[in-house]
Amino acid sequence: MNDPDRRFSDEERAGLYRAIYERRDVRSQFLPDPIPRPVLARLLKAAHHAPSVGFMQPWDFILIDSLDVRQQVLASYNEENAKAAKNYSGERQQTYRSLKLQGIVESPMNLCITCDRSRGGTHVLGRNSIVDMDLFSTCLAVQNLWLAARAEGIGVGWVSIIDQSKLAHILNLPDNVYPLAYLCMGYVSEFLDQPELETKGWRSRLPLEELVHSNGWGVALDDEVLLEQLKK
């Protein structure tokens, strides 16, 4: 039997799902307003409360407001973005080049969330078979921070078009620390109704009902009630 005392209230649940559905990868809408320290602390605490395999907590957080450091990161982005554009041709390449895919300098704060691959020692509980569980755990910290940021009205953009080895050099990271996520953060003028890549025609959201299988890959779901709910 469900215990109603264990469930969030209707208002609390609505707030959680709103953060999930309205979260956006922000690149173009940053405002210069600084993030108040109490708000920033709440976001970092949310990230630090992510689950991690073996409770190893492999993450660290590098706050970056130095324009000099951000310009170095931007230079690496520009170099990698030029390479990425060559993956496309014709109209697709023109569309790619028109996309704004970072807000490194425009955002008031950058944040690098790293993964210390040596944290927890040689043998970490739960990491014996899947050695990348530390990376997956750090991704959960990123998601925690992202959802909390949306609830605070703060936009976050993940800059993935970057040379990780150069980024590690810029940030003086030890060899055992991997720069997993480079994020741009700040208040925004708006949160778009749809993901920007969707509004620009780059990709559309896949139908969820086509991605749910039953007891094995490629076996269609035969639960008609669930299928109808997934389509809503």
- Joined tokens for residue 9: 């209230």
Question: In whole angstroms, what is the distance from residue 80 CA to residue 159 CA?
Answer: 11
Q: How confident is the model over 130-158, as pLDDT tens digits?
A: 999 999 999 999 999 999 999 999 999 99
Question: In whole angstroms, what is the distance from residue 40 CA to residue 43 CA?
Answer: 5
Question: What whole-number percentage of the chain has pLDDT above 70?
Answer: 99
On the question of pLDDT at 107 being above 70, the answer is yes
- Joined tokens for residue 1: 């039997």
Give 73-119 as a DSSP string: HHHHHHHHHHHHHTT--HHHHHHHHH-----TTTSSEEEEEEEETTT
Rounded to 5 degrees, what are φ and ψ at 112?
Answer: -110, 120
In the prediction, which pLDDT does 78 show?
Answer: 97
Question: In whole angstroms, what is the distance from residue 139 CA to residue 51 CA?
Answer: 10
In the prediction, which pLDDT does 2 show?
Answer: 67
Between the alpha carbon of residue 63 and those of residues 28, 46, 201, the distances in Å are 20, 15, 33
On the question of pLDDT at 3 being above 80, the answer is no
Question: In whole angstroms, what is the distance from residue 44 CA to residue 62 CA?
Answer: 11
Residue 46, C-beta contacts closer than 8 angstroms, at least 6 positions apart: 144, 145, 147, 148
Question: In whole angstroms, what is the distance from residue 64 CA to residue 173 CA?
Answer: 14
Strand blocks (E) in 174-219? 177-187
- The answer to whether residues 30 and 108 touch, using CB atoms and an 8 Å cutoff, is yes
In the prediction, which pLDDT does 61 show?
Answer: 98
In the prediction, which pLDDT does 6 show?
Answer: 87
**Could you give the domains of the chain?**
14-198 (3.40.109.10), 202-232 (no CATH)
- The answer to whether residues 110 and 184 touch, using CB atoms and an 8 Å cutoff, is yes
Cβ neighbour number for residue 100 with a 10 Å cutoff: 12
Q: How confident is the model over 22-34, as pLDDT tens digits?
A: 999 999 999 999 9
Dihedral class, residue 121 (left if φ above 0, else alpha if ψ from -120 to 50, else beta):
left
